[in-house]
Amino acid sequence: MDTYRPRRSVLYVPASNDKALAKIGQLSCDAVIIDLEDAAASADKIAARGKLPRIFASRPAANHIGRRCEMVVRINPLASEWGADDLLAAASCEPNGILLPKVDTPRDLLEAGDLLDDNSAPDSVKIWAMIETAKALLNIGVIAELGRDPASRLSCFVAGTNDLVKDTGVLATPDRRYLMPWLMQMVLAARAGGLDILDGVANDFRDLDALARECTEAAAMGFDGKTLIHPAQIEAANRAFVPSAEAVAEARAVKNAFSLAENAGKAVIALNGKMVEQLHLVQAEKLLAKAAAIGE
Ligand code: COA
Ligand code: MG
């Protein structure tokens, strides 16, 4: 199994907002996305890009639990006047990832990957992709397939729900009912491609109850974490995307049952009146590794 890297809470930080940038070292999120795209007005985009070296030079070594927060840069679309320069400026800071907006086809990712390769970006610089257009959803299977080829650098999908609402015309309701089929499609594709997948943002950053509900729901839907817009949202996401105490206890029970001498070599056993198969053991071990990695 690959080592689990938590991406429960992933906060957008506008590169154009110095006060927000100054907060990065104190945040307990698993990752930040320094945003050069929608959070930077056209007139501020070049100045925002120019701040990247300073932002990365002051990159915090570790957060309160001793883990380094991942740092990702969201660039402008490669087809825009800023995209290519954003990508090169970001790559030279060696971020954990470069988040590409408005990805429509595999070609969009391959183009970014080629630019990174041509500029000798280390393999550790991964590509993250916003899934936020109707076209991306129609092409999601072939886009996700790139995740199986390490040379593509593709590592993570990010649901862009605000753009998806804009692009499709669906009504944005509090229960996200019209977005649900597409969100589930993204999760499915991410799993097929071996990618992480992050839920979209909750715009109402004062309503933390609604956010907590959305995080719990996203965890149940199979998302690895949630993208966030405000530091007040971090805690709810960190709480929601960890295995519950009950789930951990159940996983331990499954593991213990299979380790009993009487069950050695069995494909299927009974545990508290329920059928448990080897696949449940694999699932349990994965869950325990995740809980241990988070350290909670
Ligand atoms: N990252 C880091 N710090 C942030 C932050 C963020 N995303 N959002 C707010 N803060 C900081 C503020 O700078 C402020 O700092 P201060 O205490 O030094 O003044 C503090 O947290 C409290 O902020 P608050 O006053 O509650 O909010 P605000 O009115 O300053 O900002 C938003 C509200 C929505 C404009 C802001 O949260 C934001 O820009 N979020 C990100 C938007 C974004 O990136 N969108 C694109 C992706 S969807
Ligand atoms: Mg967007």
Give the whole-angstrom CA distance, residue 125 versus residue 253.
Answer: 39
Residue nearest to atom 24 of ligand 1 (CA): 230
pLDDT at 40 over 90: yes
pLDDT at 64 over 80: no
Residue nearest to atom 23 of ligand 1 (CA): 230
Q: Which ligand ends up closest to the CA of 166?
A: 2
- Select from 216, 240, 264 the last residue of a domain: 240
Q: Is the CB of 35 under 6 A from ligand 1?
A: yes
Note the pLDDT of residue 4. Answer: 86
Q: pLDDT tier at 296 (50, 70, 90 boundaries)?
A: low
Note the pLDDT of residue 106. Answer: 98
Pocket test for ligand 1, best of 11, 16, 17 (most atoms within 8 A of CB): 17
pLDDT at 110 over 70: yes
Give the whole-angstrom CA distance, residue 16 versus residue 188.
Answer: 35
**Which is nearest to 98 in space by CA: 72, 59, 124?**
72
3-class SS of residue 126: strand
3-class SS of residue 238: helix
Q: Domain check: are 111 and 210 in the same one?
A: yes
pLDDT at 68 over 90: no
Q: Is the CB of 201 under 6 A from ligand 1?
A: yes
Mean pLDDT throughout 104-124? 98
Q: Domain check: are 17 and 105 in the same one?
A: yes
Q: Domain check: are 209 and 250 in the same one?
A: no
Q: Which ligand ends up closest to the CA of 130?
A: 2
pLDDT at 2 over 70: no
CA distances from 97 to 80, 104, 134 (A): 20, 19, 24
Q: Considering the chain, what is the average pLDDT of its residues? A: 96
Q: Which two tokens stand for residue 132?
A: 């936020």
Q: Domain check: are 219 and 289 in the same one?
A: no
151 part of a folded domain: yes
Q: Domain check: are 169 and 255 in the same one?
A: no
Q: Domain check: are 258 and 171 in the same one?
A: no
Note the pLDDT of residue 61. Answer: 79
**Is the distance from CB of 10 to CB of 238 less than 8 angstroms?**
no
Q: Is the CB of 12 under 6 A from ligand 1?
A: yes
Give the whole-angstrom CA distance, residue 217 versus residue 225.
Answer: 11
**Ligand 1 centroid – CA 72 distance (Å):** 17
Q: Domain check: are 191 and 221 in the same one?
A: yes
**Which is nearest to 186 in space by CA: 246, 238, 227?**
227
**Is the distance from CB of 49 to CB of 15 less than 8 angstroms?**
yes
Q: Which ligand ends up closest to the CA of 201?
A: 1
Note the pLDDT of residue 67. Answer: 72
Note the pLDDT of residue 1. Answer: 44
Q: What is the pLDDT of residues 222-245, one digit of tens each?
A: 999 999 999 999 999 999 999 999
Note the pLDDT of residue 243. Answer: 93
Q: Domain check: are 30 and 134 in the same one?
A: yes
209 part of a folded domain: yes
**Ligand 2 centroid – CA 164 distance (Å):** 8
- Looking at the chain, the whole-number percentage of residues with pLDDT higher than 90 is 93
Q: Which two tokens stand for residue 245?
A: 């105490």
Q: Domain check: are 56 and 111 in the same one?
A: yes
Q: What is the pLDDT of residues 158-181, one digit of tens each?
A: 999 999 999 999 999 999 999 999
Q: Is the CB of 69 under 6 A from ligand 1?
A: no
Domain tally, the chain = 2
Q: Is the CB of 39 under 6 A from ligand 1?
A: yes
256 part of a folded domain: yes
Q: Atom of ligand 1 at shortest distance to CA of 27?
A: 2
100 part of a folded domain: yes
Q: Is the CB of 14 under 6 A from ligand 1?
A: yes
Residue nearest to atom 16 of ligand 1 (CA): 19
Domain extent, residue 115, equals 9-240
Q: Domain check: are 122 and 230 in the same one?
A: yes
81 part of a folded domain: yes
- Select from 198, 221, 240 the last residue of a domain: 240
Please give the model's pTM, rounded to 2 decimal places: 0.96
Note the pLDDT of residue 63. Answer: 65
Mean pLDDT throughout 103-127? 98
Pocket test for ligand 1, best of 13, 75, 230, 235 (most atoms within 8 A of CB): 230
Query: How many Cβ atoms sit within 10 Å of the Cβ of residue 115?
Result: 17
Q: pLDDT tier at 65 (50, 70, 90 boundaries)?
A: low
- Residues β-bridged to residue 99: 74, 128
Q: Domain check: are 284 and 211 in the same one?
A: no
CATH assignment of the domain containing 193: 3.20.20.60
Note the pLDDT of residue 3. Answer: 76
- For the residues of 209-230, what is the DSSP string, one character each? HHHHHHHHHHHHHT-SEEEESS
2 part of a folded domain: no
3 part of a folded domain: no
212 part of a folded domain: yes
Q: Domain check: are 164 and 264 in the same one?
A: no
